[in-house]
Copies of this chain bind each other. A is one copy, B any other.
């Protein structure tokens, strides 16, 4: 039991270290980009030795994947919680709005993540496409579910639900990314609402 406890502590320590490295990697990757970041950079930022990175991650690429995995999970959990916390069950639009708002909030609070997702991810080319695709698809899948429910309830017109979902995801992602560079002077909430309004009502005056 003593051994078990000691092991538990050790495991925690190890996890702790892993998390620290991930955090450091996130900072560096976001600032310099995946390609320009060296393992030495990450090591220095994490205040561990050069080779220690390799004790926790198999390669630079694996480190990036692990990072995206973690971040993707956090994002999705945040969104899910937001959707559940709203009157989502009864009202499709509220759910959609909650999801989009939550995403924007998350991105707003974590610009590094936006950079990682929408710029650096491409640096890995096809090797990451599948993974990024996975993260995206998770998000899109959730949206699709909402869309389908809306269609069933008659509050959403007939339209290919997956494509609609992807469109929303694309808008959210691209606008968030754009806001890294261009200041549109708008609050995140306003932008989120803009997207939902556009998607729900379109541009044609009613």
Partner-B contacts on A (CB < 8 A): 32-33, 35-36, 118-120, 122-123, 125-126, 129, 133, 147, 150, 154-157, 159-160, 162-164, 166-167, 170-171, 173-175, 178, 181, 184, 186, 191, 194-195, 197-206
Assembly CA distance A123 to B203 (angstroms): 35
Assembly CA distance A122 to B199 (angstroms): 27
**Chain A interface main SS type:** helix
Residue of B nearest to A150 (CB): B203
Can you list 10 contacts pairing A with B, beta carbon distance less than 8 Å?
A119-B122, A122-B122, A157-B201, A157-B203, A157-B204, A163-B184, A163-B191, A164-B203, A167-B195, A201-B204
Q: A125-B35, A170-B171, A194-B163 are in contact. Are A202 and B205 (CB under 8 A)?
A: no
Chain B residues near A122 (CB-CB < 8 A): 118-120, 122-123
Residue of B nearest to A158 (CB): B205
Minimum CB–CB distance from A128 to chain B (whole Å) comes to: 10
Minimum CB–CB distance from A129 to chain B (whole Å) comes to: 6
Chain B residues near A197 (CB-CB < 8 A): 159
Minimum CB–CB distance from A168 to chain B (whole Å) comes to: 10
Contact B175 A166 (CB under 8 A): yes
Minimum CB–CB distance from A152 to chain B (whole Å) comes to: 13
Q: A171-B170, A204-B201 are in contact. Are A181 and B125 (CB under 8 A)?
A: no
Which of B123, B157, B166, B167 is close to A35, meaning CB atoms less than 8 Å apart? Answer: B123
Contact A167 B159 (CB under 8 A): no
Assembly CA distance A125 to B118 (angstroms): 11
Interface centre among A32, A120, A123, A204 (most CB of B within 10 A): A204
